[in-house]
């Protein structure tokens, strides 16, 4: 029997999204939460200057996805406009290395 996935702590998720947005805000962009599925899949969109940026897939895989997957209950992260092939995703993960990007501060819920 498969156990149901843990529910995503929405406050912790929003706090992490704020942190990621602050990190990519140096490029005048941010991310915005669209929805969270019962299975823990987070759907978001890039806003600001990230909207037309060709590096969205790299930002997604190197910064956004790893940071949001640290939030308990998050099982996957999807963003509009960042679809890439499995092969390209594998190459990106290889180039990013096993260590991945530098960590963001620990996840803390909003007050």
Residue 27 pLDDT grade (very low, low, confident, very high; cuts 50, 70, 90):
confident
Phi, psi of 104 (to 5 degrees): -85, 165
Report how far Cα 101 is from the mean position of its chain's Cα atoms.
12
Q: Which helix (H) or strand (E) holds 93?
A: helix 86-96
What the chain holds in terms of domains, given with CATH numbers, is 10-96 (3.30.300.130)
Residue 81 pLDDT grade (very low, low, confident, very high; cuts 50, 70, 90):
confident
Q: What is the mean pLDDT of the chain?
A: 83
Find, among 42, 86, 41, 40, the residue nearest to 32 by Cα: 42
Distances (CA, A) of 65 to 2, 83, 89: 25, 13, 12
Sign of the torsion angle spanned by Cα atoms 107, 61, 58, 93:
positive
pTM as predicted: 0.76
Cα separation, 39 vs 59, whole angstroms: 24
Q: What is the pLDDT of residues 29-76, one digit of tens each?
A: 999 999 999 999 999 999 999 888 888 888 888 889 999 999 999 999
């Amino acid at each position: 029997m498969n156990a149901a996935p843990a529910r995503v702590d929405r406050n912790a998720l929003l706090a992490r999204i704020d942190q990621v947005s602050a990190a990519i805000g140096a490029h005048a962009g941010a991310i915005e939460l669209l929805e969270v599925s019962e299975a823990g899949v987070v759907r978001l969109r890039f806003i600001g200057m990230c909207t037309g940026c060709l590096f969205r897939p790299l930002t997604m895989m190197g910064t956004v996805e790893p940071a949001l997957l640290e939030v308990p209950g998050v099982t996957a992260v999807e963003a509009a406009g960042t679809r890439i092939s499995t092969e390209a995703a594998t190459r990106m993960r290889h180039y990013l290395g096993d260590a991945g990007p530098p960590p963001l501060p620990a996840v803390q819920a909003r007050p």
